[in-house]
Amino acid sequence: MVIALAGTLGAAAAVQAQGSTSLLEQSQKGAQPNDVAVLARAQQQSATTDGKSSVPSAPTPNVPPAQANNANDQFGKQPKRILGIIPNYRAVSANTHLPPLNFKGELWLATQDTFDYSNFIFTGALAGIAMAGKGQPTFGQGAEGYGKYYWHAFVDGAIENYMTEAVVPWATKEDPRYYTMGKGGFFKRTGYAVTRLFITRANSGKSTFNLSEVVGAGAAAGIGNAYYPAENNQWVKTYQRWGTQVALDGAFNVLKEFWPDVNQAIFHGKY
């Protein structure tokens, strides 16, 4: 039976080859116009040798890759620096949830903000403003006076950074980072940024009163009494330092909130 099956398959192959040859011979002798279909069939049969069509497949269209700077990818995205200069380590991009920081991470956050090169420039500006307004008359003027204003302003900022970003958050189990809203109207987002001075995120993810900011900045202002000259209005100066630190943090919150929008609109995402 195997021999009969093999003979049948061989006969079928011979008939197919003969048919193909016959059609080719007809095409070579000159096909009439009404024999176009027969000629096309002959060419198709002769081109097929191993069961695969010789007709080339259509080329695959080139699909451009998704652009990295897609608007959706840039929505509310916070860079590490604002304008490539101002440190922005505390800001968290919109719709981003991060695990809590440990104490080591909080200390490193405060260290980055305190000893970043831009902070020395910022401190110089604050010292100049304070000297121009004669905030501490006993410091005097000139280079010596400016030096006193400078190191006092630097120490004020350093203590405030470590108190609000590391020491108090570790004790209260609060997240010292600023979680941006990223979308909404101007007044809504501004109000949100300012209220983050009093409302923050606990390590559990829930909202809580911002003891890190309020108590931390107050403690830093109080510690300042140890190195500022004693005056009759010492408590007034303490409250002024406290208010100044909180106001600066609020202004930076607003800047961080809107920086991605400004960066896209004005600088086209350059920074």
Asked if residue 174 and residue 83 are part of one domain, the reply reads: yes
76: left (phi over 0), alpha (psi -120 to 50) or beta: left
Q: Is the pLDDT of residue 131 over 70?
A: yes
Residue 81 and residue 23 share a domain: no
pLDDT(25) > 60:
no
168 and 35 in a single domain? The answer is: no
Tell me, yes or no, whether 208 lies in a domain: yes
pLDDT of residue 139: 93
pLDDT score of 174 more than 90: yes
pLDDT digits (tens, 9 = 90+) for 30-43: 444 444 444 445 44
Sequence-distant (6+) residues with CB within 8 A of 125 are none
Question: Do 90 and 43 lie in a common domain?
Answer: no
Is 257 among the domain residues?
yes
Per-residue pLDDT at 230:
81
* In-domain check, residue 37: yes
Distance CA 234, CA 222 (A): 10
Of 28, 47, 66, the last residue of a domain is 47
Tokens of residue 262, six digits: 């400004």
Same domain as 157, residue 248: yes
Both 96 and 182 in one domain: the answer is yes
What global pTM score does this model have? 0.70
Is 238 part of a structural domain of the chain? yes
The three-state secondary structure class of 181 is coil
- Residues 3-32: what's their mean pLDDT? 39
How many Cα atoms occupy the beta-carbon half-sphere of 227 within 13 Å? 13
Q: Is residue 71 part of a domain?
A: no
Q: Are residues 136 and 182 in the same domain?
A: yes
Range of the domain at 104: 76-267
Whether 141 contacts 74, CB under 8 Å: no
Both 193 and 244 in one domain: the answer is yes
Structural domains counted in the chain: 2
